[in-house]
Structure 1
Amino acid sequence: MALPKAMRLKGHRTFDYIHKNSEKYYGKLMTFKIARSNPKILISHKNFNSLNNFKIAIAISKKVSKKAVVRNKIRRLLQDYFLKNFRKDKNHKPYWLLVNLKSSDSCNYESKLLQEFQHLIFKSGLLND
């Protein structure tokens, strides 16, 4: 299942903002960059309903796999895990999350990838009860 449009990050200004103003969490296979939302950046995208909601983007480099099919499979796997564990009442948190996969052989270890994703989500405090 794909992320709902209201939860997607888009635009180069958004990613520049996250890279400059984020708190970073590192793992062996991926990094998390979390920044407070800045709705002024998203006004140009004409999505006024969910400017201050929680948003996420998952970026997977070609260094992880040259095949787009493999990268998309990993992206869908992480998105599905996130959506299954994300509660609607947490959507009011004004944070933007960027997940970057590091270049490694992570595409062969789905269970390790999900374990680290879960660990970093809880370490960052996004899905705490």
Structure 2
Amino acid sequence: MALPKANRLKSRHDFQAVFREGIRRNSSHFTLRALKPARLKEPSLDAALPITNLASTKIGISISTKVSKRAVVRNRLKRQIGAALHQLLPNLAPGWRIVLVVKTNAVESECVSQQFLQELKQLLAQTEVFDGNS
């Protein structure tokens, strides 16, 4: 299952911002880059309680041709990673911009979906992206 359009990181500008300013975490198959949400303060009636607006979390997946020369293999990996991220989406805090870079050894992985899901959970927990940091 693909990520909803509201949760996709699309523009080159957004990808560059995440790579330039985001924090980095590594695992055996992925490098996760995450940019914390920018909180926008709005004027409110009570100055002690500012209202914050946060957009939905946006996620991009980057797979180089170094991972595989075959587009079929890269697209299959991207779909499997997207399905794993789709399961984790309700637990993510709003406003984050995340880029997941797939490493070359991800192609050789046997039990792809469960292993990817477990690694993604660990990376997101290390980055404190989970809502409530659970």
- Indicate whether the TM-score tops 0.5: yes
Describe how 1:16-35 pairs up with structure 2 within 5 A.
Answer: 16-35=16-35
The answer to whether structure 1 residue 75 and structure 2 residue 109 are counterparts is no
Q: What TM-score does the superposition give when structure 2 sets the normalisation length?
A: 0.74
> Counting helix residues as a fraction of each chain, which structure ranks higher?
1
The answer to whether structure 1 residue 108 and structure 2 residue 113 are counterparts is no
- CA deviations over 1:2-55 (Å, ceiling 9, x no partner): 1111001111111111111101111122110000346xxxxxxxxxxxx82210
Secondary structure of 2:104's aligned partner? coil
CA distance, structure 1, for counterparts of residue 13 and residue 100 of structure 2: 17
CA distance, structure 1, for counterparts of residue 116 and residue 2 of structure 2: 18
The answer to whether structure 1 residue 125 and structure 2 residue 128 are counterparts is yes
Asked if 1 retains the 8 angstrom alpha-carbon contact of 2:3 and 2:85, the reply is no
CA distance, structure 2, for counterparts of residue 117 and residue 62 of structure 1: 22
**Corresponding residue number in structure 1 for 2:69:** 66
1:85 aligned residue (88, 102, 110): 88
Asked if 1 retains the 8 angstrom alpha-carbon contact of 2:84 and 2:116, the reply is no
Aligned residues: 116
- The percent identity for this pair of structures is 29
Change (3 A) 1:10 1:37: farther
Asked if 1 retains the 8 angstrom alpha-carbon contact of 2:85 and 2:117, the reply is no
Unaligned runs of 5+ in 1: 39-50
Asked if 1 retains the 8 angstrom alpha-carbon contact of 2:23 and 2:34, the reply is yes
Asked if 1 retains the 8 angstrom alpha-carbon contact of 2:68 and 2:74, the reply is yes
| Cα-Cα RMSD | 2.3
CA distance, structure 2, for counterparts of residue 55 and residue 120 of structure 1: 16
